[in-house]
Amino acid sequence: MREVGIIKWFGGFNPKIHKLNDFGYILRENQPDLYVNRNHLHCKAKLLTPGTAVSFEVGVNYKNNMEQAFKVKLLKSENDILLIKKCVFSNKEEYYVPLMAKFFQIGYSSDIELVFPKVMNLNKEEQKKIIDSMDLNLKMRKDIFKFLDIEEQIDMLLQLTLNDFIDKWENLSLTTKIFLIYRLCHDKYDLTILEKTREKNLFIRALIIIAWVSNNQDKKSITYKKACEYMYKYSSELSHTDSDYEELKIIFPIGKYNFKVDINKPWYQWSILEFIQYCNCTSILEDMDRGDKAVIMLITALNSFMKRLSL
């Protein structure tokens, strides 16, 4: 049975014999330190720095009848399923961080639901290491995908083939769909991909046709009118108890009375006003001052939407 521990020290110069030591010790929980010799390493000795997590088997040295470690390897190289599960469910970062990505490949969805929050509580650098070590198919699994931040989700979606993208679209959250539309507009992707999704949510349909305006300025009036119709109908059917309501709150401007539209912000920081401004291609304030009926109609509909839902 394999166990896990932390390197206390290994090797180092021995002044008594004027040579490098070929042994060291492993720290174990609630047990004495365990002797380990170079002859029983399954990894490079130089990697065994203090604090490094390792896995091993415990045996007896026939010369002195003392316990020592055999088949020692870096914990991240461990393949024993029972030990992997034991480590990822432990409270020690040194044990669960090296094996998280490997566990996600073999774990049940219910187990992944329990342990993935540990990843999100790590610092950004550690999070990135774990997420980057996972292949696209693994990250696209529903039980993992939902935990990823919006940038990571959208980066992955844009790597899919058209058919896979359309298949995935149906099960995306409202928030992910909204910011995906923002990203497609901001980075000037071919927006026909959105037309192939056959979206049913009226608010998302409104955003899709507003996005279409960015490349079809001459159709602004008729398009904004249709977007307004979608928004009015959608808001009339939405209640504060709907899951959509909480998701929508993040795209409406905070501090509405002194809010400044800034399309130079990163797309993932846009409110719906930055999105409309970007697609409109000209200043929405200046257009309204000039009496542009299409823009006035759209912003009026948006304000009505916000008031109706207390956003």
- Tens of pLDDT, residue by residue over 42-101, are 999 999 999 999 999 999 988 889 999 999 999 999 999 999 999 999 999 999 999 998
CATH fold label, 2-78: OB fold (Dihydrolipoamide Acetyltransferase, E2P) (2.40.50)
CA gap 267, 104 in Å, rounded: 30
Give the per-residue pLDDT at 255.
58
Please state the domain extents for the chain: 2-78, 82-148, 155-308
State pTM to two decimals: 0.77
Taking residues 165-187, report their average pLDDT.
Answer: 95
Position 258 confidence tier, pLDDT thresholds 50, 70, 90: low
